[in-house]
Amino acid sequence: MGALIAAGQAPLGAWWLALPVLALLIRWLAREPHPRRAAVMALFAGAGHFAAALFWIVEPFLVDVARHGWMAPFALILISFGMALFWAGAAAFAAWAGQTPARRALALAVALAAADALRSYVLTGFPWALLGHVWIGRPVAQAAAYIGPLGLGLLTTLAAALAALAPRRGSAAALALLAAVWAGGVWRLAQPDPAPVMIEGRPFQIRLAQPNAAQDLKWQPGMQEMFFERMLAQTAAAPAPGMPSPDLILWPETAVPWLLNDPGIVLEMISQAAGGTPVALGIQRSEGLRYYNSLAVIGPGGTVGEVYDKHHLVPFGEYMPAGDLLGSLGITAFAARQGNGYSAGPGPALLDLGPLGRVLPLICYEAVFPQDLNAAPGRADWILQATNDAWFGALSGPYQHLAQARLRALEQGLPLVRVANTGVSAVIDAKGRVLASLPLNTDGFLDAPLPAAYPPTPYARSGDWPMLVLLSLLLLGLVTTRRR
């Protein structure tokens, strides 16, 4: 049952299957009055959901099978049951708080939404495969501009609980609720867009370079140079007939296999290929024994301009908790090339690109944390995500990552440009629509104008706080009424 709910996640996006199955799950769990039994039932349902949604988690372990392959099944089991603990806690609370199946169903709707909220923050957070994500790419998702991803989740669980309470009247009420939100999304999508961003009287043009460097080949001697030369060629290529030259060229995460502070003539080669056009690229840098996963802007002559260091690192991927101890056992971070991982940057930042605007940089999975975007020191003009989705395989991970980027754009009301090593590189407008893209596992470049930004959305102004307060009040109300 849980695995069928995962069908609502990208790339399938089968919300029409996920929502009825979620209603059946709520109805099934609501019949169980004993918290311990309800928790066990929800634990296995949740494990099925997360195993189906997050099976791409084994991909990093398969890059070097001889060294890390043995850990792949343990990683999938641990993350599936670890995430399912949140569902188990929600079911136990609902069984305790509700004295009747109807009350338990409503309590479970609130508790599951609260579980997604907790999962978004606890232990650095992992807000992947949230229940509200089934609406990404559908008009319902436009509500995220007002209520954010947690609000989408509560909307989803409440609709499912209504259908669970009464198959006929409840389903009709749930459909009416979703139809109203859907219609509101259609209306918002139909509103005219602001004027496009202009540079010297013409649209601001961006080029995305996608080298398609497979992760098991990316760092191999000889292959490093090949992929670098491929990106140089993409950077130097003439635009299509009738298309203007790019004003900014973007390379993906860790695109350059040399350190920023010891590049040799590499930066001059990049600038020469770009003809002096600024290039924003992913590169590693070091300060003493510390290494950073960074994004740097390279100007004419190979000069280094703005630099951003990734601050929200991937546990076990880019740094190791208790890294020295685990390192002595031969267990090191996957993405980092040195030691036991990267060091974290100081936090969200804005890069001032002058006439090209103020950009909010995100490196890889920083794009799955809406709270980090809201913590930026000011309002950006657009969002840039440099990523290496080769770690995620080719089936579901890259598409789920793209879906999250779409949600971040419409939550903030800002265009988002993502450049990915193996794809999907894309230009996304402020309503979360993909306007242009390069497919997965292809090499090439894409020239496209930067879409316009919207004024700050209600969610961009308030973040998760309204929904966190609402969920807390609903939970408190369930506790209070239970005691009475």
Q: Which residues are catalytic?
A: 253, 310, 364
The structure tokens listed for 319 are 């740094």
297, 304 Cβ separation under 8 angstroms: yes
DSSP collapsed to 3 states, the chain: CHHHHHHHCCCCCCHHHHHHHHHHHHHHHHCCCCHHHHHHHHHHHHHHHHHHHCHHHHHHHHHCHHHHHHHHHHHHHHHHHHHHHHHHHHHHHHHHHCCCHHHHHHHHHHHHHHHHHHHCCHHHCCCCCCHHHHHCCCHHHHHHHHHHHHHHHHHHHHHHHHHHHCCCHHHHHHHHHHHHHHHHHHHHHHCCCCCCCEECCEECEEEEEECCCCCCCCCCCCHHHHHHHHHHHHHHCCCCCCCCCCCEEECCCCCEEEECCCCCCHHHHHHHHHCCCCEEEEEEEEECCEEEEEEEEECHHHCEEEEEECCCCCECCCECCCHHHHHHCCCCCCCCCCCCECCCCCCCCCEECHHHCEEEEEEHHHHHCHHHHHCCCCCCCEEEEEECHHHHCCCCHHHHHHHHHHHHHHHHCCCEEEEECCCCEEEECCCCCEEEEECCCCCEEEEEECCCCCCCCHHHHHCCHHHHHHHHHHHHHHHHHHHC
The structure tokens listed for 397 are 């991970």
CA dist 283 → 22, 140, 237, 271, 337 (Å): 43, 37, 22, 15, 12
Query: Does a cis peptide bond (omega within 30 degrees of 0) precede residue 346?
Result: no
Report the C-alpha gap between 76 and 215 in whole angstroms. 20
State the burial class of residue 180 (Cβ atoms within 10 Å of its Cβ: 0-12, 13-18, 19+). exposed
Tokens 């950073």 correspond to what residue? 292
